[in-house]
A = this chain, B = another copy of it.
Amino acid sequence: MTNFLSLADVNDLDALIQSGRDAKANPFADQHLGKNKTIGLLFFNSSLRTRLSTQKAAQNLGMQTMVMNVGQDSWGLEMEEGVLMNGDKAEHVREAAAVIGRYCDIIGIRAFAGLQDRVSDYQEQVMHQFAKYAGVPIVNLESATRHPLQSLADCITIEEAKLTARPKVVLTWLPHFKPLPQAVGNSFAEWMNARANAGKVDFVITNPEGYDLAPEFVGNARIIHNREEAFAGADFIYGKNWSSYEQYGKVLTMDPSWAVTMDDMQRTNNGKFMHCLPVRRNLKVSDAVLDSPQSLVIEQAANREWSAQAVLKEILKGM
């Protein structure tokens, strides 16, 4: 594995999931792999789970870690080519990426969607510019359109918790008053479609009209706008809010009936509830769901350490 920007960088998903589960069982077995290796973690946006779990995974592998909040610890970065840099950005990604690539053996980057310009966001400029200029492997710590470390942790969590060979997995939109990126929803759909294609899950998406994800992420998934119908018989309910793709970055509704409650969960096949966190309690999901034995949200977040460790191990092995 050279970069980990999306599912396309994964050769063998089953093996990667298993590698994460092996790391969970035996966290310190590969400490030799990271000896004298350093990962730089660059945050253009806030982070809790990703910040801590990726540091932890790297340290489990014997790596050194350096964490930097871009634009706060350092300078704002220009991503466009060929511009006259007379604005508020003091450094170009060409230099920043190349230089950080000389200090770090791997670079992890978090850079959310701006939600102003769909074309620009969906070009994934930050990830691609870093991948182009850094000269070392890049790990996506959530980009404008994807959050693959989360999706891998989700796959690990489903593998651990599933009670049938081919569980029904339902991605459901949740209400929120702020416009949030589509990255987690997109990425989960991308990875679940891969699992569905391999016969591992039955994957359904439910969301209000106007909230369909981008077609390239919906793929072969069934979109069911009637959420009661979608929830019926589900083994896993995966909740997430996202702003509209069609009317890009807009909040079209805050309909509270889309929040997940115990009544909803009772329509499932004694299903498990998943969410990538942070979650606003009682706005998106009720306390009762989150505090029930059906909730997997803590285990799912804990698995972020093991998804990161599986990815970093794969990259280190290739060095």
Contact = CB atoms under 8 A, between A and B. Distances in A.
B66 A55 contact: yes
Contacts of A59: 38, 64
Q: Which one of A36, A59, A92 has the highest number of Cβ atoms from chain B below 10 Å of its Cβ?
A: A92
A96 B290 CA distance: 13
B102 A278 contact: no
Contacts of A52: 40, 66, 68, 100, 103-104
A247 interface: no
Given A56-B38, A83-B281, A48 B66 contact: no
Interface in A240-291: 277-283, 287, 290-291
A48 B28 contact: no
A75 B48 contact: yes
Contact of A305 (B27, B91, B102, B302): B102
Interface in A129-161: none
A22 interface: no
B99 A283 contact: no
Interface string A51-90: 1110110011000101011000111001000111110001
A66 B49 CA distance: 12
Nearest to A28: B36
B74 A51 contact: yes
Contacts of A298: 95, 98-99, 102
A56 B103 contact: yes
Interface string A85-127: 1100011101110111011100000000000000000000000
Contacts of A283: 84-86
7 contacts: A27-B36, A38-B56, A55-B66, A84-B281, A84-B283, A92-B278, A96-B278
Interface of A: 27-28, 36, 38, 40, 43, 46-49, 51-53, 55-56, 59-60, 64, 66, 68-69, 73-75, 78, 82-86, 90-92, 94-96, 98-100, 102-104, 177, 277-283, 287, 290-291, 297-298, 301-302, 305
